[in-house]
Amino acid sequence: MSDKDPKVTRANRPVLALHVPEPHLRPGDAPDFSAIVIPAAGSAPRPRTDAPAADTHSLATNLVRVLGDDHRAVGPWDPKIDPEILRKMLRDMVTVRIFDDRMYRAQRQGKTSFYMKCSGEEAIAIATAAAMDRADMHFPTYRQQGLLIARGYPLTTMMCQIYSNGGDPLKGRQLPIMYSDKAHGFFSISGNLGTQFPQAVGWAMAAAIKGDHRIAMGWIGDGATAEGDFHSAMTFAAVYNVPVILAVVNNQWAISSFSGIAGAERATFAQRAVGYGIASLRVDGNDALAVYAAVQWASERARANAGPTMIEFFTYRAEGHSTSDDPSGYRPVNEGKAWPLGDPLERLKAHLIALGQWDEERHSTLVAHCDAEVRAAQKEAEKLGILPQQGKDNIASMFDDVYADIPWHIAEQRDAALAEAKDR
């Protein structure tokens, strides 16, 4: 090793050793989450929304939880949501889950190239959408399809994007699920991790520059917090006291890498806000009421010019990373079922039942209704075609939108491509 360099040897010093984080369990092991500390629901304090950031920092290692084991809402974070809104959230979660299942299957049937589910994480996007204003702006990752669904974006249009067909507003240019829709406050999803996080800060800076009332929310996964863009977002948000919510969805995994590879052995993701002087909340992401309460708190803070908030949503990626991934190669199977914070959908359902606002029969009806809705949307979308049939018509459109106007060299290439398509 580096024989040219004189090695400093000191007999009484320990030999340096590199620590490479390793999850406790690997394939073949039985799932076991007993090491995870779960504070009781209702036990986390709720600071005033205009409190100094430092007053929130004990929450960075705590866990905001509202739904108790008895399925009742408890403690200072109970958002006391109208049951009508709870039912809307449940319905959206059921829709997302069915949508994910149908589209996953569509990919397996060869109808498209790729799909990503958000199983186990549905509450995060759905309750966030419920807690924020419809006009607020999101800079999402690929796991926040729930935002679009909660905001009433047509399921058929989502599917057309997934099939890259004639109904796809993105004209077949983007990988499935990389949605974009300004009218629904949903910024274009990037395939390049982390880029959207500081962009959300920029949007909120613009809103502040213009004296707007709308705020922005940036989203990132636990793994992608390692990107430099994460730190750019935190710095700009702190420096300009930006009206933005910065959400880290910690679903424990980044493809095959557990959260320890992103630094979670040393500190929570929420704790990163401490060093920037940004308010920080760590939240049970499988508790729709806790998600709602935290986002409501952070929105109020942002709207009052009291500063940005980082929220770590603590959750679990219950299925594979994407249709290209098989998690049985790197983690125990059935870990998702053993996740101690449960299934967000089941927990919200049980809460509504405990409130006397829901029952099994109504739930079956809801599931049947959502299922029919998703199937009908799929049928509509497939009328416009599936991926293997695409890419032959309207080839000229491929050359639009590279620039506002088409320069000569792209016009030439468009003509060549059209001639090529006609060739036998």
Partner 1 sequence: MATMNMIQALNDAHKVMMRADGDVVVFGEDAGYFGGVFRVTEGLQREFGKTRAFDAPISEGGIVAAAVGMAAYGLKPLIEIQFADYIYPGYDQIVSEVAKMRYRTAGEWPMPMVIRTPYGGGIFGGQTHSQSPESLFTHIAGLKVVVPSTPHDAKGLLIAAIEDPDPVIFFEPKRIYNGPFDGHHDRPVTPWAKHSASEVPDGHYAVPLGKARVVREGEALTVLTYGTMVHVSLAAVEENGVDAEVIDLRTLVPLDLETIVASVEKTGRCLVVHEAPRTSGFGAELVALVQERCFYHLEAPVERVTGWDTPYPHSYEWAYFPGPKRLKKALEKVMGD
Q: Which residues bind partner 1 (CB under 8 A)?
A: 1-5, 18, 20, 22, 26, 113-114, 164-165, 168, 172-176, 178, 190-194, 223-224, 226-229, 254-257, 261-263, 324-325, 329-330, 387, 390-392, 395, 398-399, 402, 409-410, 413, 416-417, 420-421, 423
Tell me the residue nearest to ligand TPP as measured from the CB. 221
Does 222 bind Mg ion (CB under 5 A)? Our answer is yes
Binding region for ligand TPP (CB under 6 A): 141, 143, 191-193, 221-224, 249, 251, 253-255, 317, 321
Q: Which of 119, 164, 251, 296 binds Mg ion (CB under 5 A)?
A: 251
Taking the C-alpha atoms of residue 283 and residue 357, their distance in angstroms, rounded to an integer, is: 25
From the list partner 1, Mg ion, ligand TPP, none, partner contacted by residue 143 (C-beta under 5 to 8 A by kind): ligand TPP
Three-state SS at 299: helix
Which CB sits closer to partner 1, 178 or 354?
178
Task: Give the tokens for residue 403.
Answer: 């620039």
Which CB sits closer to partner 1, 80 or 409?
409
From the list partner 1, ligand TPP, Mg ion, none, partner contacted by residue 398 (C-beta under 5 to 8 A by kind): partner 1
Which CB sits closer to partner 1, 206 or 396?
396
Closest-CA residue to 120 (of 294, 348, 286, 289): 286
Which CB sits closer to Mg ion, 146 or 223?
223
Compute the least distance from the CB of residue 194 to ligand TPP, in Å: 6
Long-range pairs for 331-336: beta carbons < 8 A, 24 or more residues apart: 331/23, 331/25, 331/26, 331/27, 331/253, 331/256, 331/258, 332/25, 332/26, 332/27, 332/28, 332/29, 332/30, 332/31, 333/27, 334/31, 335/25, 335/31, 336/119, 336/120
Does 221 bind Mg ion (CB under 5 A)? Our answer is yes
From the list Mg ion, ligand TPP, partner 1, none, partner contacted by residue 4 (C-beta under 5 to 8 A by kind): partner 1
Q: Which stretch binds Mg ion (CB under 5 A): 14-22, 172-180, 185-193, 254-262?
A: 254-262
Taking the C-alpha atoms of residue 304 and residue 394, their distance in angstroms, rounded to an integer, is: 49
Compute the least distance from the CB of residue 218 to partner 1, in Å: 16
Compute the least distance from the CB of residue 112 to partner 1, in Å: 9
Which CB sits closer to partner 1, 241 or 256?
256
Compute the least distance from the CB of residue 412 to partner 1, in Å: 10
Taking the C-alpha atoms of residue 162 and residue 113, their distance in angstroms, rounded to an integer, is: 8
Q: How many residues does the chain have?
A: 424
Does 254 bind Mg ion (CB under 5 A)? Our answer is yes
With the C-alpha atoms ordered 361, 365, 368, 370, is the resulting torsion angle positive or negative?
negative
Which distant-in-sequence residues (6+ apart) come within 8 Å of 386 by Cβ?
A: 106, 111, 112, 163, 165
Task: Give the tokens for residue 389.
Answer: 């049939």
Which CB sits closer to partner 1, 42 or 260?
260
Task: Give the tokens for residue 3.
Answer: 């024989």
Compute the least distance from the CB of residue 226 to Mg ion, in Å: 11
Give the DSSP letter string of 209-275.
HTT-S--EEEEEETGGGGSHHHHHHHHHHHHTT-SEEEEEEE-SEETTEEGGGGTTTTS-STTHHHH
Contact, 46 vs 322, CB < 8 A? no
- Interacting residues toward Mg ion by CB under 5 A: 221-223, 251, 254
